């Protein structure tokens, strides 16, 4: 009798255990976050995609996704359609990509990195500069847009505005979101550079007139070491700004750079710290990017997941002192967002249940409530990226 009764008892106990486990499992499942990991995100129809230059890339990235110290970006609301930005640099630490010299035995050259701008499309060459971004936008003429906007440190040219009009877009609409500046970076540990360098000093250095520090005006007591002038790639906004300033200092004539000028990655402190003699190296650098470095955004890329807890230090500082012959070099640079004017008048809401299109929601909404990048929350994230926020809806403008 007891034996017969034990069987259902065991069954009941098993059932009880199963129910309990089921309950616990349900409870545990409820604790699992919604943040499921997935591969690189390929934007879907309805997502707003931006490409552009290195200099403003983090301002847009922070605006979309927030910063790393708990400040939420636009996408934090869990919007059905998302703001997606593709950085100019293929690397999260802002580094350029190069071919593999270790296995090929040949010297590394700049790689053409790619990205997938829309789900279902082939990888295409990554837009790596502001100019390339505007060119790509103008070439995106299909009814269903691949690229919706460009983040750029330069304005569209008159010819590009004409192309936009010919594309039936009206014009390229420009919105200023912030400002940055190009200054001269030197090694923070020890440098032979004087406290400040003027545009005239730099013109002399980069054209080979001044090759040692003591040749600089007002610096005869300076080091006799040879100056190592570095410059970012010619397609970069830092290069363009710097060369434009040297051209101005040269009386409007483009300077011929000395053979001693070496090309390095844009906004990369290791160009200085990794130089043969860091104390003699100088390079034009984005003030905003260095602010991001100083804020501890970048971590050691050699550390595997979950990554290093110690932030990298840049090892460089910007010259801010008064040079012997004038004003320290400090050239303003503006960060823009550029989109088709035809999108500004679209009647398609950005989000389900919404009434504003994506341009009105994010960048420009004349007569309506302030778009995300113009209001406090968006501007604060731009500032968190090191850029000085300054919102201005410029409309139809060109360089």
Partner 1 sequence: MSTLSGRARAIGLVRVLRLVLVVSLALAGSAVMAGVAAADSAVPYTDPNAVGYIGLCDQSGHQITSGNINTTPFAWRAISSTPALAPYNNSWRTAILLAYQPQQGLSPSEWSGDELTASSRYTDPADPMVAATDGDDSLEDFIEEFHPKWDGFLQLRIYLGTEDAEVYSVHYPTLNIHVSGDNWTAVDGGSVNCNSGTSTSLESIVLPASTIDGSSGAGAAIASGSKSHGSKNASGAAATDSPAASTGRTSAAGATLTGSRALASAAVSDSSHSSSATLISIVVAALLALATSAFFIRRRRTASLSPDSGPTKAPMKGHRS
Footprint on residues 263-322 left by partner 1 (CB under 8 A): 287-288, 290-292, 294-296, 317-318, 320
**220 versus 320: smaller Cβ distance to partner 1:** 320
Distance CA(169)–CA(145), nearest Å, equals 12
- Assign residue 116 a region (left: φ > 0; alpha: ψ between -120 and 50; beta: otherwise): beta
Euclidean distance between the first and the last CA atom of the chain, given in angstroms as a whole number: 97
Query: What residues form DSSP beta bridges with 37?
Result: none
Q: Is 232 in contact with 239 (CB distance < 8 Å)? A: yes
Stretch that binds partner 1, among 12-20, 122-130, 199-207, 274-282 (CB under 8 A): 12-20
User: Is 130 a residue that touches partner 1 (CB under 8 A)?
Assistant: no
Residue 304 dihedral angles phi and psi, to the nearest 5°:
-75, 170
Among 22, 110, 111, 139, binds partner 1 (CB under 8 A): 22
Q: Coil, strand, or helix at residue 268?
A: coil
CB of 330 to partner 1, least distance (A): 7
**Beta-carbon count within 10 A of 25 CB:** 11
Q: Which of residues 139-178 bind partner 1 (CB under 8 A)?
A: none
Q: Are 216 and 204 in contact (CB under 8 A)?
A: yes
Write out the binding residues for partner 1, residues 27-56 only, by CB under 8 A: 27, 30-31, 33-35
Name the 3-class secondary structure at 282.
strand
> Binders of partner 1 among 358-397, rule CB under 8 A?
361, 368-370, 375-377, 379-381, 383-384, 386-390
Alpha helices by DSSP H, listed for 250-299, are: 270-273, 287-294
* Residue from 58, 74, 336, 373 in contact with partner 1 (CB under 8 A): 74
Q: Please give the residues from 331 up to 360 whose contact with partner 1 meets the rule CB under 8 A.
A: 332, 351-356
Residue 242 C-beta: closest distance to partner 1, Å: 16
Minimum gap (Å) between residue 125 Cβ and partner 1: 30
The secondary structure of 204-233 as a DSSP string is: HHHTTS--BGGGSTT-TTS--SBPEEEE--
Range 177-216, binding partner 1 (CB under 8 A): 179-181, 183
Element (H, E) at 140: none
CB closer to partner 1 out of 163 and 266:
266
| Contact stretch for partner 1 (CB under 8 A) within 22-30, 241-249, 267-275, 335-343 | 22-30
Which is closer to partner 1, CB of 94 or CB of 156? Answer: 94
Instruction: Assess contact for 241 and 247: CB atoms under 8 A.
Output: no
Binding segment for partner 1 (CB under 8 A), chosen from 39-47, 78-86, 128-136, 239-247, is 78-86
Q: Closer CB to partner 1, residue 6 or residue 262? A: 6
* Residue in 140, 225, 330, 393 binding partner 1, rule: CB under 8 A: 330
Query: What are the structure tokens assigned to 390, written together?
Result: 């300054």
């Amino acid at each position: 009798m007891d034996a017969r009764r034990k069987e259902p008892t065991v069954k009941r106990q098993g059932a009880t255990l199963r129910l309990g486990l089921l309950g616990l499992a349900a409870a545990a499942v409820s604790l699992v976050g919604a943040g499921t990991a997935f591969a690189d995100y390929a934007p879907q129809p309805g997502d707003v995609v931006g490409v552009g230059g290195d200099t403003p890339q983090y301002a847009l990235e922070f605006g979309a996704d927030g910063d790393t110290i708990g400040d939420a970006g636009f996408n934090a609301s869990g919007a059905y359609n998302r703001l997606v930005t593709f950085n100019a640099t293929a690397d999260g630490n802002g580094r350029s990509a190069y071919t593999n010299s270790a296995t090929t035995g040949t010297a590394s050259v700049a790689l053409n990195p790619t990205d997938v701008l829309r789900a279902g499309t082939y990888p295409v060459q990554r837009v790596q500069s502001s100019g390339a971004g505007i060119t790509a936008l103008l070439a995106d003429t299909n009814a269903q847009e691949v690229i919706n906007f460009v983040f750029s440190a330069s304005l569209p040219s008159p010819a590009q505005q004409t192309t936009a009009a010919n594309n039936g877009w009206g014009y390229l609409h420009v919105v200023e979101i912030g400002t940055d500046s190009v200054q001269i970076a030197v090694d923070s540990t020890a440098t032979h550079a004087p406290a400040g360098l003027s545009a005239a000093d730099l013109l002399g250095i980069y054209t080979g007139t001044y090759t040692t520090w003591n040749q600089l005006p007002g610096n005869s007591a300076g080091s006799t070491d040879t100056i190592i002038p570095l410059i970012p790639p010619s397609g970069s906004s830092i290069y363009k700004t710097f060369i434009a300033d040297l051209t101005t200092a040269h009386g409007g004539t483009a300077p011929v750079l000395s053979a001693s000028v070496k090309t390095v990655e844009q906004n990369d402190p290791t160009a200085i710290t990794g130089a043969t003699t860091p104390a003699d190296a100088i390079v034009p650098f984005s003030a905003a990017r260095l602010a991001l470095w100083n804020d501890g955004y970048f971590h050691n890329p050699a550390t595997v997941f979950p990554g290093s807890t110690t932030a990298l230090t840049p090892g460089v500082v910007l010259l801010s002192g008064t040079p012997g012959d004038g004003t320290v070099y400090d050239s303003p640079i503006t960060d823009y967002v550029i989109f088709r004017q035809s999108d500004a008048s679209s009647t398609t809401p950005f989000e389900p249940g919404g009434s504003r299109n994506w341009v009105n929601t994010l960048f420009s909404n004349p007569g309506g409530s302030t778009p995300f990048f113009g209001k406090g929350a968006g501007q604060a994230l731009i500032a968190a990226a090191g850029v000085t926020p300054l919102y201005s809806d410029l409309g139809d403008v060109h360089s």
